[in-house]
Amino acid sequence: MPVADINIDEPAFDIQRPPAGTRVQVIATTLTYNSNTKVATAKGRVVLVYGPYVMVADNVSYDQARDILRATGQIRLREPGGNILEADLLVLQNKFRDGFAEHLRLLLTNDATVTAEYARRQDGVITIFDRATYTGCKTCVLADGTPLWRIKSKVAIHDKEKHEIRHKDMTFEFAGVPIFWLPEFAHTDGTVKRRSGFLTPEVSLSKDIGVGVMIPYYWALAPSYDITFLPLITSDQGIMPRALWRQRTQTGEYFVDGAGIYQLNTDIEEPGDRRWRGSLHTAGKFSINKNWTWGWDATAMSDDTFMRRYNIDSREEIISEGFITGIDDRNFFRARAMHFRNLIVENGDFSPVALPYIEHDYTFDTPVLGGELGIKSSVYNLSREDSEITQYPGVVHGEQQARATTTLHWQRQFVSNIGTLVTPFTRLRADVYYNEELPDEDLLGTQSDHNTSRILPSAGLDLRWPFVHGSAYGQHVVTPVGQFISSSDETDEDEIGNEDAIDLNFDTTNLFLHQKFSGEDRYEGGTRVNAGVLYSYLMNNGGFLRASIGESFHLSGENSFDKGSGLEDAHSDLVTAIAFQPWEHLRLTYQARFDHDSLQPAVQDAGADMIFDRWTLSGGLSDVEEAAEYGRPTEELQAWTYATLQLIGGWSVFGGLRYDFEQDMSTYETIGLAFNCDCFNFKVAYVSNDNEDDGDLDKSHSVMFTVKFKGLSNDFGQ
């Protein structure tokens, strides 16, 4: 052990390894040897090192003829696995493999403790404890020093090869009160992380399934794979079997999660009188070599609401895909086959399939004109059974759309004599589209099948001039930013289905992007200037204040943005963001978009996280105007909060709420009670979710219960 010389006045084990070839190293106040009896005796603060064993005791004697070592007085023995044995009397022989101890305490590596009146060891593997107790509690004790929980057994057997402790004639005590008795019980000794056993039960309540109880069972079949059974027993709908299989291979890992039920009661709304319902979700990722990986993530289900109704999966949109990905330094390649399914909006035959969807980004190693040259490409072929007039004005989808787009991009960065960071850049983009059955502009019919191609060049200059000022309290950094970008106008947008660029949220995060659309099916054209100021105040105590404000000005050309984006006019809306953390216990954030004429807020998001003494508080407010063209058909105004109050003795209460002011109702509520100490965790919580206008889902109510006994792994429900 790489530590300095031992201090024999401390019961520590941090000592130097004996020199190679040394059988035993002994440090003691006095050391004597009787040549007649062949007994060596060490007294004082004795430290003995024998291979991986380290022992500290008051007195140690060794009978060489009988190969018996006897230690007495404040004994501490560290075993090879890290366990520490404390005892009043310890007798060992056969190279420490056999022996016995009296009035002992064994400190396991998982912080659990075994005490016993007597113990005997066999073959260095089996230790048998008589009249034993086992607990994971150290500081979590009653007023008289009794652990909060403990197992008392007539005999406890520790098997190091099986990594388990088996109790016979055991009683489980909690808060000093016997709770139950078992003739035999086994659990891990803390040296293994995976062990078969029951997990924490879950209890739920809802209008349509009644009372639901899930009793999971984890089965560790092998070191590389396992299965978890998750049966849900409901009062109204019967039993829903569910199982989760996981396996790790030499190159990756995957899982398969399947569930199904034959519903007893079909007197519900959609999906009507369906009795058989189920789902299957599987995902995996594997390495081909250091640069390439492949995998999949796929979900199949009987209907749109099954997984959310039975708390299997909360996703509202399912994307199933198979992929292969390559990453080498700054170069990237990904090919995918994808299927989309919206579980909230009834889109039926409009769910698209993308096969293939290929993305590639390559940066040349050799500088070109002193700058960085790269090429970015993407190709997809997307199809659906029927063409679609979407819920978003002006956004249409054909039965099939194939797209190939390539962008050659160059930029160079340098610092001027006055400290300005100057980045000129240019891009040349080429698109080719093929469409079938694309709804026409007046939405009265469909266009004939046709090809569309376009060349879209752009060039610009990015200027940033940071000013730094230091003070006794911290450092200030003010950075004015200006961008000038000129691009050709977007063309043929009415002849192209918008598949990947519907959503748009204009804020400070994309103010200085060359393209503010979320995808490649739309293009930001014309000549514009993006301007703003970035500010950072870095405090000496680690706190900070960061703020930014900016605006975009469309100077000429065709404006590609519609009403609701904040970019539809020559002067964009004003965007700003602030994050303030004066110390680690308080963080405040705010970002907003203000109308450029009236300065009325169009989008606001505010948040706060606070820790004060026993209180932990967090909350937020979101106020977003409608923008039907960009996926927000109605105005949204919601507030949420979550709080935890630490009570005495490890107890705490918590609660949370989300309120929708537009619907004048709460959409989420939770309240609960928890207890936490060094050996025991307990939590019970009531949760309510509103699922209005979501298929056959009603407002759900559930009670979640968890309990964990540290030191017992998952045997009592971790």
- Residue-wise pLDDT for 487-520, tens only, equals 999 988 888 888 888 888 999 999 999 999 989 9
Look at the chain and report how many structural domains it folds into.
1
3-state percent breakdown (helix, strand, coil) of the chain, nearest 5:
0, 60, 40
Instruction: Decide if 90 is inside a domain.
Output: yes
For residue 536, tell me if it sits in a domain: no
Is the bond leading into 466 cis (omega within 30 degrees of zero)? no
Confidence check: pLDDT of 459 > 90? yes
d(CA 21, CA 81): 22
Q: Is the dihedral of CA 463, 469, 470, 475 positive or negative?
A: negative
**Measured between alpha carbons, how far is 337 from 138 in angstroms, rounded to an integer?**
54
Is residue 686 within 8 A of residue 707, CB to CB? The reply is no
The candidate with the shortest Cα–Cα distance to 396, out of 311, 487, 497, is 497
At residue 25 the predicted structure's pLDDT band, cuts being 50, 70 and 90, is confident
Query: Left, alpha or beta for 66 (phi > 0: left; psi -120 to 50: alpha)?
Result: alpha
628: which DSSP letter? G
Question: What length is written for the chain?
Answer: 718
CATH number of the domain to which 94 belongs: 2.60.450.10
- For the chain, state the CA radius of gyration: 34
- pLDDT tens digits, one per residue of 123-134: 878 999 999 999
Tokens of 317: 């949109």
Instruction: Mean pLDDT check: name the lowest of 288-292, 332-336, 387-391.
Output: 387-391
Q: Round to whole Å and give the CA distance between 482 and 297.
A: 42
List, in order, residues 6 or more apart from 206 with CB less than 8 Å away.
Answer: 212, 309, 698, 700, 701, 702
pLDDT exceeds cutoff 50 at 58: yes
- For residue 481, tell me if it sits in a domain: no
Report which secondary-structure segment, H or E, holds 308: helix 306-309
Q: pLDDT-derived band of residue 716, with 50, 70 and 90 as boundaries?
A: very low
Q: How many CB atoms lie within 10 A of CB 22?
A: 11
β-bridge partners, 63: 39, 68
Q: Per-residue pLDDT tens for 207-246? A: 778 888 888 999 989 989 999 999 999 998 999 999 999 9
Residue 77, strand partner residues: 55, 85
Long-range contacts of 462-469 (CB under 8 A, 24+ apart): 462/421, 462/422, 462/423, 462/424, 462/425, 462/512, 463/420, 463/421, 463/422, 463/423, 464/420, 464/421, 464/423, 465/418, 465/419, 465/420, 465/421, 466/419, 466/421
Which whole-number Å values give the CA distances from 232 to 256, 275, 310, 652, in the listed order? 18, 16, 9, 29
Residue 75 lies in a domain: yes
d(CA 397, CA 442) in angstroms, rounded, equals 14
pTM of the full structure: 0.79
User: Stretch 429-443: mean pLDDT, rounded?
Assistant: 84
Distance of CA 642 to the CA centre of its chain: 19
Range of the domain at 62: 25-188
* Residue 309 burial class via C-beta count within 10 angstroms: exposed 0-12, middle 13-18, buried 19 and up: buried
Domain annotation covers residue 113: yes
Q: pLDDT tens-digit profile of 141-154?
A: 998 989 999 999 99
Pick the closest to residue 624 from 587, 651, 676, 661 (CA basis): 661
* 87 in a structural domain: yes
- The pLDDT, as a whole number, for residue 11 is 42
Give residue 628's pLDDT band: very low, low, confident or very high (50, 70, 90). confident
d(CA 568, CA 558): 10
**What is the three-class DSSP state of 650?**
helix
